[in-house]
Amino acid sequence: MANKYSDQLNKYFVKLQDMDQKNWYYILAGLLVLVFVLDYFTLMKPQLGALSKISPEIKILSDNLKRTKTDIARITEYKDQIQKLKEGFDALRLRVRTKQEVPLVLEKISRIANKNRVKIDQIMPNPLQQKILLEGNDKTYFDLPIIIEARSGYHDFGRFINELENGDIFLKVDGFTIAAMPGSQLNAIQLTLKTIVVEENK
């Protein structure tokens, strides 16, 4: 039996030796293709399948990384914005007075009026019309109207308003009327200012 197989192998070897050189190249190319196909199905295909599953996760991670880099780059910008807001808040807080300081606010308005030749006939706060702007655990901020009746020329009144709004106390013009006064160069003025006052909560 062994001799039979040995004889057959010898016949194949003899045929291979007698084979044309071109045919050798074809056989070699076929073997290479066979090796490649076997390699693809046994090794590469599972790996490609795993890669195709990982690919969406890689994209998500890549997008997250880009967003993180963008956020890190904006941290300085955010810090600058926070600093500006803090400075603005601190500046506004310095212009806010307590309820006990309202008489000082009225006195300040009167001084600015005298400086700009605005004659005040009456000035008084209107606590009945005040509104709560912000209420915290320890402080409450109010929007307090101040009613003014005065006499003034147009230009003097304009300078008076400008100095009030740009002063060191928060004052905002809520509304006003101007009416000519018969036989006078001055105008009758009714003005409502608003200021912010703070009160400690007990």
Whole-number Å distance between alpha carbons of 136 and 42: 71
CATH superfamily ID and name for 97-200: Ribosomal protein S6/Translation elongation factor EF1B (3.30.70.60)
Residues above pLDDT 90, as percent of the chain: 26
Q: Which helix (H) or strand (E) holds 25?
A: helix 21-39
* E strand spans, the chain: 97-98, 119-125, 131-135, 139-152, 171-180, 187-200
- Which has more confidence, 39 or 154? 154
pLDDT, tens digit (0-9, with 9 covering 90-100), for 25-72: 666 677 777 666 666 566 665 665 666 666 677 777 777 878 877 777
Tell me what pLDDT residue 4 has. 58
Whether the pLDDT of residue 189 is over 70: the answer is yes
Tell me what pLDDT residue 42 has. 65
Domain ranges of the chain: 1-94, 97-200
pLDDT, tens digit (0-9, with 9 covering 90-100), for 81-111: 777 767 665 666 667 788 888 899 999 999 9
- HSE of 116, CA atoms in CB hemisphere, 13 A: 22
Question: Nearest Cα to 111, choosing from 153, 181, 163?
Answer: 163
pTM of the predicted model over 0.85: no
Whole-number Å distance between alpha carbons of 97 and 125: 14
Supply the Cα-derived Rg of the chain in whole angstroms.
Answer: 46
Q: Which amino acid is at 180?
A: A
Q: Which amino acid is at 98?
A: T
- Which has more confidence, 20 or 170? 170
- Per the CB < 8 A criterion, the answer to whether 113 and 132 are in contact is no
Mean pLDDT of 184-200: 89
175: left (phi over 0), alpha (psi -120 to 50) or beta: left
Cα torsion 62, 67, 73, 77 to 10°: value is: 180
Whether the pLDDT of residue 1 is over 60: the answer is no
The DSSP code sequence of 65-109 is: HHHHHHHHHHHHHHHHHHHHHHHHHHHHHHT-EEGGGHHHHHHHH
